[in-house]
Amino acid sequence: MRIIKRNGSEVTFDVQKIIVAIQKANVTVDPKRRLSQAQIDDCATAVEAECEVCGHTPTVEEVQDMVEVQIMAKGAFTVAKNYITYRYVQSLKRQTNTTDNRILSLIECNNEDVKQENSNKNPTVNSVQRDYMAGEVSKDLAMRLFLPQDVVEAHEEGIIHFHDADYFAQHMHNCDLVNLDDMLQNGTVISGTLIEKPHSFSTACNIATQIIAQVASSQYGGQSISLTHLAPFVDVSRKRIHKELKRELEKIHVDISAEQLASLVEERVRDEIKRGVQTIQYQVVTLMTTNGQAPFVTVFMYLNEAQSEQEKKDLALIIEETLKQRFEGVKNEAGVWVTPAFPKLIYVLEPDNLTPDAPYYYLTQLAAKCTARRMVPDYISEKKMREYKLSKGETEGNGDCYTCMGCRSFLTPDRSGNGYDNVQRAKNYKPGKPVYYGRFNQGVVTINLPDVALSSGGDMKAFWELFDERLDLCYRALMCRHNRLKGTISDAAPILWQYGALARLDKGEVIDSLLYGGYSTISLGYAGLYECVRYMTGASHTDEVATPFALSIMQHMNDKCTEWKEATNIDFSLYGTPLESTTYKFAKSLQRRFGIIEGVTDKGYITNSYHVHVSEKIDAFTKLKFESEFQRLSPGGAISYVEVPNMQGNLDAVMSVLQFIYDNIMYAELNTKSDYCQECGFDGEIRIVEDDHKLVWECPKCGNRDQSKLNVARRTCGYIGTQFWNQGRTEEIRDRVLHL
């Protein structure tokens, strides 16, 4: 059994240390009030037994709480008092160097919390450690200086989660949709160098990867680009290749027909597309941004976004090549093709690609084949999105279709009616057209819904009163995020605010005009709807007796966002938080505060957003249909998934799921497995096993448990993770049942 020390490192549980600690408190009191050695041993044994069944790796603080309870249970109140006093004195001493200890522990790679905070960061790499060190300082400043004490206490208790405190000291925002079209068509500046409009598709792809890297280094969340913005450069290359080829043939006095010339041109165009797409895939995978990881970038593939039929055909060529290359994968250090984490791909299902008689149906077949092997692309239904996302003056079914920012956070529809009057000063502004590219999210604060339920004791009246109190706390925390961005000058991130990614403001100008009126959003996150409803009603939210209560919770949070928006002119939006490490933090907090409650706090994780519990047996179609109700009530961000076995031999089933997605839910994905053992070459599913109360990954063929020699890719919370996970998330991955 293991225990987590205060600096985040894990050590073997030693019951003797508990005995020694009680003995030290025991000798400080009158002999008549002391515990006997047998009683001390009983206390230590009881604590050890409680740790064995607590469902997670306990912290030192949790163990000390258990010790206090056991001492008092023996009636030795004076001993307990002295034990508590000793803890308090030691705590005061530690307050002066907590940050130092955490930094030192992460440098030595023995801080388990930090090591497993992000499943796409390798904590042994210097650049990652440097980012984590800066993050620890930022967290310290945020908690001591920038945030109200009640917000800090609620965050530390797991009542809410103030996301990305490790970047809060700087004036940085969360995620965005990069206006790649403006930057490529009208030029940009990268590291002080003027980048003009490219003269070929391959050059455009190269510039795009440089923009992605610069943007990723200027913010802390995900970014999205559209392949549509690269499509015009295919014809630029086509015309250049046509001229070059014609000139070459004239030089050697070869005369061919126009049809033959066109065929040769298209062959070279396809070759250039292949090289350009390869540049994006390999550059994104191999780039290391200033925060020590590959850029969290999403690539959007939407045929109806093209501006002409020729552009649509060229876009189809790019999408086809992108899918082919992702299906192939990338080679790991052993030279084996494996699944990369990035870029994330999103494919839009639309009438032109959905049925066998549609002109681009072959692309959807290719997408299905790719998903079955590599877990991407994910899918947006144009039909459902145009029902949900209505800009000013639009009607249901005729709304907008656009990509999310990163893995699931969606911008609110354009409520300005005129593209926000080009407040961002983009050079590709079109009056009267809804604007999405160039917009961003200010940040997230998440409410722990099960904690609201448990704190109410199951009393409905108390629940709604406490819910409002907690939402008010979230509002004030979100305003801290907003106010931290206010007054930020454009010079803080020139690629974002001056050179077109998000705006073209003047040097020295503040970004405040972009924080209001809906141009940017700010997100109220939520987690654990299932556990919340289960505690209050005794049933899963999929049960018809509990579903109305679950929907009323969602509606109440939406109503609060509307109320806050009307009061501030800031677009608050409800966001289904993609918990990664925080799922474990919330679960441990609930267990510490309320104990083990079957079906509610008996796991090392809580359920993401509105999702059906990972262990609940439900078929894919029922799950997607059920969750679509909740997805619509999560306009600031949501994604649903179905867990599937290896589907590479059953693509017809994948296609049937895609058809169902188009008709029933806005945004969904299929989760499969994509693993490889470098020790023995096994390429099936790497399994999760328990070893001394800790979950570890093991090759079922050779027993290899060395994570550095295992390639494991799993959908973590929207993105694919490849650097392994904390114990809570690992337990959640283990508990997932198949839906198909």
Active site residues: 174-175, 405, 407, 409, 441, 575, 580, 718
Q: How do beta strands 640-643 and 667-671 pair?
A: parallel
Cα three-residue angle 516-520-526, rounded to 5 degrees: 110
Task: Give kind and range of the element (H or E) at residue 446.
Answer: strand 440-448
- Which single residue is written with the structure tokens 């037994």? 49
Structure tokens given for 1: 């059994």
Residues whose CB falls within 8 Å of the CB of residue 695, separated by 6 or more in sequence, listed in order: 688, 689, 727, 730, 731, 734
Cis peptide before 635 (omega within 30 of 0): no
Using an 8 Å Cβ cutoff, are 403 and 226 in contact?
Answer: yes
- Which single residue is written with the structure tokens 């907590």? 98
Determine the 3-state secondary structure of 641 from DSSP. strand
Cα separations in angstroms, 180 against 208, 211, 290, 648: 7, 8, 21, 34
**In angstroms, rounded to a whole number, what is the distance separating the alpha carbons of residues 398 and 407?**
24
**In angstroms, rounded to a whole number, what is the distance separating the alpha carbons of residues 463 and 537?**
12
**In angstroms, rounded to a whole number, what is the distance separating the alpha carbons of residues 607 and 482?**
28
Cα four-point dihedral sign 157, 161, 167, 169 = negative
Using an 8 Å Cβ cutoff, are 543 and 513 in contact?
Answer: no
**In angstroms, rounded to a whole number, what is the distance separating the alpha carbons of residues 183 and 305?**
18
φ/ψ of residue 550, rounded to 5? -60, -45
